[in-house]
Structure 1
Amino acid sequence: MSGIAALSSWLAIGSLAAAGGTFALVAYLRRHLGKPGAGWLVATLVAQGLFCLLAGVSLAVSEPGARLGMESLTWAALAWVGPLFLAFALEYTGRSGLLDGWTMVPVAALTSLVVATAPINDVVLRAFRVESTGPAVTVSYALEPWGLFAFALGTGTAGVAVALLVDTVLSYGPLYRREAATVALSAVTPTIGVAMWAFGLGPDPSLAFVAVLFVPHVLLDAYAFVGSGMFETNPTTRRAADRTAIDDIGTPVLVLDPDARVVDYNDAADPLLDDGSDGPTLLGTSVSSLVDIDADPVADGGVGTDGADPSAPTGSEPGEADELVTVRSDGRRREFLVSRSTLSDPKGASVGTTLVFQDVTRERRREQRLDVLNRVLRHNLRNKMTAVAGNAELIADRSDDERLSDIADIIDSSARELIDIGEKARTFEQCRRDGPRYRSVDLETVLTGAVADYRDGAARIDVTADGDAAPATDPELLRIVVANLVENAVEHVEDATVSVTATVDGGELRVAVADDGPGIPDGELAPLDAGAETQLEHATGIGLWVVQWSIDSLGGTVSFDTDDGTVVTVRLPDGPGGFDGGVPDPAPAAIDT
């Protein structure tokens, strides 16, 4: 019996120690108030601290009436712990939308009120008696329905909270694992104490170990909150991202099961879906008839293992590597680019498909209109301007009026400039449609050919290239770049001296075109820097734009130095792909060997 008496003394000491540690933890956690779950956790610890304090103090009360009142208040405080702990777990793990923590407050308040008034009601406990076992005064009693409900509520809500925290451990990997696992583990010892008390386990049924078993609970919580900074990393953000990443995106997203049935979709997809006999359809058309979900998903960028997009339509534009599908609804034609990804379970087995629909109807219509306009303008421009130039030349040859001949020469010159602009646009457009075709090139041959047509208009054009270098690039696009830069120098500098230098070093092809003129005006370069022309800022021709577009398609960069003459430096990767912020062409790049 002396052992039981000593044990009862330690129960009092342990209960008060648990209360002191809990309130110290509350004081520390006040700095985190406002963070997800912190407020609920502080409230949980306050209720826990009150329970431990009342449990320790009540062990010194022997008068039956006063002890019954103390016992009732003790368990009334404990009635708050489970529901508040569940409210914490819901908010901390980002699940407050499932069951708001505030819904637990009235339930806990009612239960606590009924338990606290146990001395004047008969629904909580019965057969209450004081059983002194030594220095500490213990009691024994049996539970009535409300007492059993309070027990079930506390243990049930605490169990759900632990399950939520364990799910966080399993779902979110190492980022929150240590903190959530520690808090979940901390609930084990108090649960054991409650079970021992409820089922009369232990050396003496009158000894309640619940409060003292909060000591390891407090130590584990202190590790989670103080040692590892639980509220410095919070899974609420991650869960919110998981929940809203698809819902908030403005692009329709469908989730299909292995039988191609739509099982989920986001808000953006809702206007596109209709009810069909076999489930939702996309604007009245079966999704499985639009997209081959059994085909292997296309890798990022739409390039298959053979370097080409297996699903893209023939002649697809850059950026159209995903599957293009067409849907007709109410007589209207809608076009979508569809990208697919496989949904896998934790074992890696395919359990469905995610389809992302990008509505490109307006873009496709705009491209079609531009294609028609470009074709008509280029065709008509070339034919009509050729006729204009020919007639202007004829007038100049046959007229004896010097003033009329000068006007005819101006017309002829302007017409030929327009023809030249059209030819540049046509040449670049053809290269753009074909996509960059990389091959090992002889630099000197390409550069010499690029400047050949401009030698008569310049004082001197020097070409210098690494003799041993054979970089991989598109020779036609490289020729277009150099030719336009040299032409720009020859046309704007009288008796220009131009140098073209090409070097290859560290996987980079560098081409510098320099002239001894006054420098390209800022007004010509401003639109290139801005990426667009305005009424106030626009280039006088298309040559520099063709240079920029060609370099962009090769994934390179261009810089202009106009301090002393003009030096244009073009940097291109040796082979497909960009570097240092280059903008590689999204279309598949072919490599000729």
Structure 2
Amino acid sequence: MTPEALGVGIVIASIAASGGALYLLQYLYHKRDRSGAGWFMGNMASVAVFCLSYGLALLVFEPMIRATLGAVAFLCVCFMGPFFLAFGLDYTGRGDLIRTPLFGIVAGVPLLTVGLAVTNSVHGLVWTDFQLDPVLGLATATYTVQPWGIFALLFSIGTAAVGSLLLIGAILSYGPLYRREATAVILSTVPPTVGVLLWLFEVGPVPQLHLTAPLMLIHVALDAYAFVGTHMFETNPATQRMAERTGLDSLSDPVFVLDTEQQVVRVNDRTEDVFPTTRSTSLPVSLESVLGVRLETLRETGEITLDMNGGMTFAVSYTQLTDPGSDSVGSMIVLYDVTKERQRRQRLAVLNRILRHNLRNETTVISGYAELLEADLADPQQSTQAGTIVAASDRLHSIAEKVRSFEDIQDRVIQSETLLVVDIVDEIVQTYSDNHTEATITRTVTSADLRLHTDPVILSTLLNNLVENAVVHSESADPVVRIVVSEASEPEGGVCFEIRDNNHRIPVQEIETLRAGEETPLQHGQGIGLWIVYWCVRKLHGDLDFGYDDGNVLIVTLSPRQQ
């Protein structure tokens, strides 16, 4: 090959590299909203302008124009490194660092170099002794790069190296998902770096020839491999980096990390155990292909039932993942196994139905016939036995009614209103005094104007059960129940309801069962009344205390701040 043909080849390669960079710019424009894409477009623009200006400069022998084109090419090299560093930061989820004063210094170096290059004829801080020195039939030139120029070029190479290290970290941390593409981008920085160093330190038989421009063909080809037709910007390490900050690896439930296109880009070990197909599937894959539903459906329903292991139900927790700049980089789905809870709820629903309907209806029938027998039987002993059946049936009927009350309290949505406390208490006293004439029920309300903002239905159920327990469970022929209502002590304030009786002490086992919040075979209560009281207090965010002073003392404190 003749020297002239070699020269023409170098020009063609330089301009072709510029064309390739422009094509990549056009391709990346449609993905400019993705993390890092805008900064890489800046890098590609620098490459395109550099290659075009240097390729044209090799054909221009007019000194002034040649010097101008050379200056443009020089400045483009100074911008490549900072743009690549910004891409590396943003792409790996560290975009917040771009907005710090430190990165302002990084950006300031090429910008200051522009100012110094424009005024270089005055101070000569960037280069000196520019002159044409043709070789291979090209308008090559020689000039002495001054300290600032050397610093600016080496600074660009250094920042590009840091950007490459960030991508290497992504490869090591996040596995094969980004490996091929990120590796290609890293390798793409090698040819221009070698070209700049060879030219800057005048290595080789033709030191005046800037081989960086034709070497950019390799750079552009590797970048095209990395970006065109791949998921380089469809998914990015920022998604996984933000997921890790949420404690992904510490979760013992199945976790799916999704990119902005609802593709699964990472799962934890528990996910692979529950969904074995994710262990062998090459990521990324769509969430719908794994779970059979779209993300929108999961968020609407809040749970999903899958046909595996006899049927499993999961509650769905959705967390949006954002980078430090509050831009969305994807989402994280956590599936909590609630299969046993749902099955328990179904069993409870069946039992509740039996207690609320079947048992109540059947005990009504039993009680009715037993009453007829009690009235018709002439034998006193048989009549007494029939009466015992009536009493037992009534107790079962009462239990069924309390179960219904218990379930109603559990399902009720709080509907608070401001109540005059004395009215609620007087109504309860009147009701039980009329129904239990043998009982003495009194009340003391410290202030007739005492008010409480709470749910009237739950409060009424709470007080009714407290008074009923005191009356019904009394072993005395003349039960005594006293209700004392006063303002609760500071700092929280509120209202204190104190119910006193003259009964034997409530068994410690009953109280401990309530405090434990669950019954066990070795520790259980004797009835459902105190459980209704307990859940009413819980529903109203109050406090329940037990005491004994010649009778049981139950104290319920309801704070207005908690209503």
For residues 532 and 372 of structure 2, what CA distance do their matches in structure 1 show? 32
Equivalent residue runs for 1:109-188 within 5 Å: none
For residues 428 and 248 of structure 2, what CA distance do their matches in structure 1 show? 51
For residues 324 and 574 of structure 1, what CA distance do their matches in structure 2 show? 35
Aligned to 2:413: 435
C-alpha deviation, 1:254, in angstroms: 1.6
C-alpha deviation, 1:565, in angstroms: 0.6
User: Match of 2:484, as an amino acid?
Assistant: T
Aligned to 1:324: 303
For residues 387 and 258 of structure 2, what CA distance do their matches in structure 1 show? 68
**CA gap 1:351/1:507 in 2 versus in 1, 3 angstroms:** farther
How many residues of Structure 1 are paired with residues of Structure 2 in the alignment? Answer: 317
User: Match of 1:561, as an amino acid?
Assistant: G
The answer (yes or no) to whether the contact 2:288–2:294 under 8 Å persists in 1 is no
**CA gap 1:569/1:519 in 2 versus in 1, 3 angstroms:** same
Aligned to 1:557: 543
User: Match of 1:519, as an amino acid?
Assistant: R
User: Match of 1:346, as an amino acid?
Assistant: P
C-alpha deviation, 1:244, in angstroms: 9.8
Measured against aligned partners, the alpha-carbon deviations of 1:277-328 in whole angstroms (never above 9, x if no partner) come to 97154784345356466xxxxxxxxxxxxxxxxx5x6xxxxxxxxx223333
Aligned to 2:441: 461
Equivalent residue runs for 1:100-111 within 5 Å: none
Equivalent residue runs for 1:496-535 within 5 Å: 496-505=479-488, 506-535=492-521
For residues 545 and 406 of structure 1, what CA distance do their matches in structure 2 show? 32
Q: Secondary structure at the match of 2:451?
A: coil
The answer (yes or no) to whether the contact 1:260–1:287 under 8 Å persists in 2 is no
Identity of aligned residues (%): 36
Aligned to 2:260: 258
C-alpha deviation, 1:518, in angstroms: 2.6
2:248 aligns with one of 238, 246, 250 = 246
1:268 aligns with one of 270, 276, 280 = 270
Measured against aligned partners, the alpha-carbon deviations of 1:189-221 in whole angstroms (never above 9, x if no partner) come to xxxxxxxxxx9xxxxxxxxxxxxxxxxxxxxxx
For residues 242 and 539 of structure 1, what CA distance do their matches in structure 2 show? 46
Equivalent residue runs for 1:390-401 within 5 Å: 390-401=368-379
Q: Secondary structure at the match of 2:425?
A: helix
Measured against aligned partners, the alpha-carbon deviations of 1:161-199 in whole angstroms (never above 9, x if no partner) come to xx99xx9xxxxxxxxxxxxxxxxxxxxxxxxxxxxxxx9
Equivalent residue runs for 1:48-447 within 5 Å: 245-273=247-275, 274=277, 275=281, 279-281=285-287, 284-286=290-292, 288-289=294-295, 291=297, 311=300, 323-329=302-308, 332-447=310-425
**CA gap 1:282/1:464 in 2 versus in 1, 3 angstroms:** farther
Aligned to 1:480: 461
Measured against aligned partners, the alpha-carbon deviations of 1:467-487 in whole angstroms (never above 9, x if no partner) come to 223212121111111111111
Aligned to 1:12: none
Measured against aligned partners, the alpha-carbon deviations of 1:463-516 in whole angstroms (never above 9, x if no partner) come to 233422321212111111111111111123321221112234444232111112
Higher helix share: 2
Measured against aligned partners, the alpha-carbon deviations of 1:397-424 in whole angstroms (never above 9, x if no partner) come to 1111111111111111111111111101
For residues 547 and 450 of structure 1, what CA distance do their matches in structure 2 show? 15
Structure 2: 5+ residue runs without aligned partners?
Answer: 1-157, 170-200, 202-240
User: Match of 1:269, as an amino acid?
Assistant: T
For residues 463 and 443 of structure 2, what CA distance do their matches in structure 1 show? 11
Structure 1: 5+ residue runs without aligned partners?
Answer: 1-155, 168-198, 200-238, 294-310, 314-322, 578-593
C-alpha deviation, 1:530, in angstroms: 3.0
Q: Secondary structure at the match of 1:441?
A: strand
**CA gap 1:258/1:474 in 2 versus in 1, 3 angstroms:** same
C-alpha deviation, 1:392, in angstroms: 1.2
**C-alpha RMSD of the superposition:** 3.2
For residues 283 and 366 of structure 1, what CA distance do their matches in structure 2 show? 30
